[in-house]
Structure 1
Amino acid sequence: MAEAVFHPPRRKRRVFESYEAPFPVDVGGKDFRLCQAEIINNNVIVRNPEDIDQLYNKGYFGKGILSRSRPVFSISDPLLVAKWRGIDTNMPIITSQKYQRRVQWAKSVLQEQGLDDCSITKILENYTKPQGLPFSRGDGADQTGDSCPRGGPNPADAEVSRKSAGTEGAQSAEGHNEGSQEEAALDPGSGSRHQEQDNSREMAEGSCHRDLCGCEVKQSPEQRAWEGLDSRECAPEYVLVQEEEEGSSCPEDDSTHAEENLVKKEVLVCRKNPFRIFEYLQLSLEEAFFLVYALGCLCIYYGEEPLSIVKLWEVFSEVKPDFKTTYMAYHYFRGKGWVPKVGLKYGTDLLLYRKGPPFYHASYSVIAELVDDNFEGSLRRPLSWMSLSGLNRTTANASKELMLCYLIRPSDMTAEEMSTPECMKRIKVQELIVTRWVSSRERSEQDEF
């Protein structure tokens, strides 16, 4: 067997952030924070914004349910933000079409709750009416941030005008995958449908509605998992909607040319978002168990009940039959300083990053197998020479190396021992890097000698 040739990790050309810490725990123990998560539809979800920042910024655990990695989803249109960059506000700026789509979503929710069309129309008209802008213009007053007056807004301050160069005002198109991503995130982020129905009447009276304005229903005291939820989720979200008004640019012209001289006047109108969607952090089962078992900085709830380490080991093994194998490999590589991520994209179990995905490309694609002392056992994915060669070539084309991680358990280890995470103390690990032998390269190297 040839010796492995180790290649240094490839650093990314552009790095837009600084490295904070390998784990979301303080070495001195002064600023220790116990994060909270919940199991929803066999997924581990973190909802508290402060916990999300803690877990992702320190160790790059999880991914945003609406983002590729870091949870940075925003409904604000980047092109509109650049277009209205002179406006001093941090509210999202969206197109009228995008806003109307959310109105239709809110209407569908109310229809499912059995409300008649007349009541739905009145509710939505009252909820989506123009609001006062939460920033001042030209009077030297300080910006008030995300807050927006709940009382009667001043209609004169409800719009910010801007003239367009022509009738074809520039309006950005919505992202091609925005709708599918947002709709896919409704179930894990919205909670129970019954809670939405119980609060439908509150919106008709002008109060927050769980699904229509994005607020969370106030939990009972025993639901300790969500005591740390940010108060921002209990308030409606205000957005600036770019709308158009028609006006005559040349009033002195005769009426025969009046229609030709009409130009569209673009304005930003402050309104409540009728269908707010929150982005949460989704942890893989291996990441969640590592935070609970190895670091002790996460508490996972199922409903109102916090789950113990042994219970999580049992539940995760039922949800994912090969969880024990993949977690042992995850725990091993995390302990060596790597940042493992799901390797499904390349047909493997794990991808290994140095420091984290923002800084380096993945160095290895890992396949984990649990075997006995004689390297025998029921393999999770038996590989033929053809499939192994194809997998290795796929990995090599992505500038990575294929690694087989064998988790060796003693022959005398019983199933009862495997029922708790303490079994990992007797597990040995052997790494095997797979490389493709190229005959022409071998001949050229021999000719040099």
Structure 2
Amino acid sequence: MAMLPVLAALLLVRASYAIDPDLDGDYCRTRRYPRCCEGRVDDCSVPILGTLCYCDSFCVRPENSDCCPDYLEVCHNITPTPYPRPSPLFTCTHEGRAYSLGSSIRINCNRCTCREVYPGRVEFECLDRPCLIRHDLIRDINEGDFGWKATNYSFFYGKLLEEGIRYYLGTHQPERDTEKMSELHLVRQEPLDERFDSRERWPGLVGMIRDQEECGSSWAFSTTAVAADRLAIQSRGRDSAELSPQDLLSCLDPREGPCNGGHVDRAWRYLMNYGGVTEHCYQYTSGRNNATTQCLIRERKKPGNELVCPSGIQGTKYFSTPPYRVPPHEEAIMLEIQTNGPVQAVIHVREDFFVYNRGVYRHTRLSNHLPAQFQQSGWHSIRIIGWGTDRGRKYWLCANSWGEKWGEGGYFRIARGENESQVESFVLAVWGRCWPYHRQGHRSEGPVNN
């Protein structure tokens, strides 16, 4: 009868008998002589984890058992069940940081979730929306022989391609009636240079690179830049001023919103009818706050009236002559630039242009095999300020409006004579006769011819 409690206890212990892998080893096996399994023998003990475990039948108790881990196997020939292994702790990693299963983060422009993709393997599953910066596209361009190199721009990273089209371009495709604008054909009186840079021909009179930031305002930036260049060149620097894109963005048609794009012909019409003010007078803010739509120039048309600038100073207005279209031919564009200064061009921008770093740009067509959403495009306006040849590749030298950290210090070169990206299709210029109207209502002297 004395053995009944022991047998009952053995049944209870056996039902859940498993050895913790951390305690697996030989304990009772080391005490075979004497075996110690029967009765109560206090000397039948073995050191374990700083204390003692026992190999006699007295150790078997439903509670507070102090048997050695291998007691049942050695003394009663009971094989332990496999110890349940803990479930693996699945984590996804990104840039050296671990994320638990089910966590969501943003990688580039896509939302990604840590999921078990198949048993035992977890990884981030991401949406497949086209990003403005695509590392595979940059790699393929740089490994190919395209004549130019690409790079990752931090100010573009994390944005969708459609956001780049919307917020970093902003020129509407010329309307059919606008494309019929009369062309002005110059008569060449001197040979065209093999290489030409307006900054060298007219030092200090050609405007620097500006940054439209996150605002579809290239139409306003390129228009005011070309107008200012022509004004400075034709006046030999006497009327040198950086004109305000914000004036056009806020005052031409406030209902449209400043960052929703615009037409270059309407921008020139505004400068012709209402005049423009300087950047110092009306500073650019739409790139940081594209909700700014209110026109802060109180008097738009009458040049004789006193002009109070939004910045609080008394200002000057500059009026343009009507723009004219330069014939869409390589030599005609070169002649116009060499004779009168930088011109405005409307170009068709595709997905790879955003990652341009250096060289002579040509569209690569590397995304042609991808869905249409990866091939979105838009229209942009820039200045052409010169031309040249690089290892046999003819190019136009152009000024962009994405700041000096983009491209070749804010400039880029694009294939010349091929109408690459339609850069030669719609080129505009103005005579350099933009008279400033001062608040007293007096015109300056007329333009100074070169």
TM-score class, shorter: under 0.3
> TM-score scaled to structure 2, two decimals?
0.18
Bigger Cα Rg: 2
Q: Which has the higher helix share?
A: 1
TM-score (norm 1): 0.18
Identify the structure with bigger relative contact order (alpha carbons < 8 Å, sequence gap 6+): 1
